[in-house]
Amino acid sequence: MKVRRILALVLSAALAVTALTACTSAKDEASQKSADKQTTTLSYDTVKIGVIHIGNPADGSGYTYAHDQGIVGMQKELGLKDDQIVRKNNVSDSDPAATETAIRECIEEGCNIIFGTSWGYMDKMESLAEEYPDVYFCHGTGYKNNGKNLNNYFGRIYQARYLTGIVAGMKTESNLIGYVSAMGSENSECTGGIDAFAMGVYSVNPDAKVYVKVTNSWYSPTEETNAAKALLSEGCDVIAQHCDTPNPQLEAESAGKWGVGYNTDMSKDAPKATLTSTLWNWSAYYTYQVKQIVDGNWKCENYYGGMADGLVDIAPLNMDICTEDMQKAVDEAKAKIEDGSFNVFDGVIETNDGKTVGEEGKTLDDATITGGINWYFKNVEVK
C-alpha cells in the first residue's frame, strides 16, 4: 500500500515537473516569437505601413493628397516596395466603426506602423494601441500619447499661414478677405491658423478685415463651395481656406477674384485666382518617424515640426497675379521665422472682443498654440 502511495507521489511530481517544463517552454516559445516579430519589424525590407485616409489621394489635391504625397516621398526615400504600404481611403473620421475596421484590416495585413491622418481617428487609435502593443500607432492632428506605442504629430502650419496673410493683405482691393474654416473657435488648430493669417494681413494692411465662414466639417465639398460663395457675396475679393478641397479657389476664380489655397499648390486647380497656397511637406515627418522606429530609436515622443524642419511652407507666388513687392515682404518675414527672431504669436496680442493675450517680450508656448487659442485676432469677424 505504501509502495503504491509512494509511486503515486513520484508520478504526480513527475507530471508536475513535465507540466511546468511544458508551460515554461510555451512561454519561452511565445517570448521568442515576440522577439522574432520585433526583430523582423525593425527592417526596411519587412516593415509594413498602414495609412488611414479621410479622402482619396486620387483626387489629386487637398488634405489627403498632401498626406499621401508624404507617404510616397517617404517610401522613395527609404526604398520601400509598394506592397509595404497599405492604404485605407475614404474612411470617415466621424464613424468609429469604419475607423476600427480600417485599422484592424491594416493589422491583419501585417502592418506594424499605422498612421491615422485625421482628428477623428484618435480615440480608436488609442484603444487599439492598448490591444496591439507591438504595433506603432501615430495619430495626426490630435493630442493623445500613451507613452508606449501611441504618439501624435502635427506642425507649425501657422507659420506658413502668416506668410500667406501677407500676400492676401497686399492683394485685396476691397479690404475684405474671406476665410473658409472647417471648425470654429472651439478648435485651436483652425482658430490659430485664422489668427496667424489675419496677423499676416494686418502686418501689411491694418485696414483689412478677415471674414470667417465655418463649415463644421473637415471634408465637405458642398459646404466649402457654399461658404466661399457666401463670403464673395459679402464683398470679399480674396478667399483663403482651412478645408480640404480646392472648391473655394474655384469659386474665387469663377467670380474673377483671388484666393489662397491649402495643403497643396492649388494654382493648378485655379491658375487665374490662386495667389499662393499654405503647404504641408508631410514626407519630412513620415520619413523621420519610420526611420526612428526601424532604426530602434522610438521614444513615443510627439512631433511638432515647422518651417525650419521643412514640414511647412508656402507655394511659389503666382507671379501672373502677384508682385515683386509681395515676394520681398514674404521673403523678409520667412527669414525671421526660420532664424527664430520672429515667432508669429509674440508679445501682447489684441483680440476681436477688446481683450488681450500674451505678454510683452514673450511668445505663446506650444501647448497654448495647439490647445488654447479659442479667440480671434482683432481684425477677424465670424459670419
- For the chain, the structural domain boundaries read 49-155, 157-279+313-382
DSSP, collapsed to helix, strand or coil, labels residue 115 as: strand
> How is residue 63 written as a grid cell?
488634405
> How is residue 35 written as a grid cell?
522577439
Crossing angle of helices 63-78 and 283-294, in 10° steps, is 40
**Cβ count within 10 A of residue 369:** 21
| ∠ Cα 153 86 149 (to 5°) | 40
pLDDT in tens, 270-302: 999 999 999 999 999 999 999 999 999 999 999
Q: What does the pLDDT read at residue 59? A: 85
**Using an 8 Å Cβ cutoff, are 178 and 231 in contact?**
yes
DSSP, collapsed to helix, strand or coil, labels residue 122 as: helix
CATH of 157-279+313-382, one of 1.20.120.80, 3.40.50.1860, 3.40.50.2300, 1.10.357.10: 3.40.50.2300
**Cβ count within 10 A of residue 382:** 15
Q: What does the pLDDT read at residue 41? A: 55
Q: What does the pLDDT read at residue 37? A: 39
Residue 327, φ and ψ in degrees, nearest 5: -60, -45
* Of 379, 11, 9, residue with least CA distance to 199: 379
Q: What does the pLDDT read at residue 151? A: 97
DSSP string covering 225-278: HHHHHHHHHTT-SEEEEESSSSHHHHHHHHTT-EEEEEES-GGGT-TTTEEEEE
Q: What does the pLDDT read at residue 61? A: 82
Give the integer Cα–Cα distance in Å for 261 and 239: 8
Using CB atoms within 10 Å of the CB of residue 280, give its burial: 0 to 12 exposed, 13 to 18 middle, 19+ buried: buried
Q: How far out from the chain centre does Cα 330 lie?
A: 24
Sequential pLDDT tens for the chain (383 residues):
333 333 333 334 333 333 333 333 433 443 343 333 333 457 999 999 999 999 999 988 889 999 999 999 999 999 999 999 999 999 999 999 999 999 999 999 999 999 999 999 999 999 999 999 999 999 998 889 999 999 999 999 999 999 999 999 999 999 999 999 999 999 999 999 999 999 999 999 999 999 999 999 988 999 999 999 999 999 999 999 999 899 999 999 999 999 999 999 999 999 999 999 999 999 999 999 999 999 999 999 999 999 999 999 999 999 999 999 999 999 999 999 999 999 999 999 999 999 999 999 999 999 999 889 999 999 999 99
Q: What does the pLDDT read at residue 375? A: 98
* Of 138, 112, 108, residue with least CA distance to 49: 112
Amino acid at 308: A
Give the integer Cα–Cα distance in Å for 298 and 288: 11
Give the integer Cα–Cα distance in Å for 218 and 177: 21
Give the integer Cα–Cα distance in Å for 229 and 251: 7
Alpha-carbon torsion (310, 311, 312, 313), positive or negative: positive
Helix (H) / strand (E) containing 299: none
Model pTM score:
0.84
What class, spelled out in words, does domain 49-155 have in CATH?
A: alpha beta
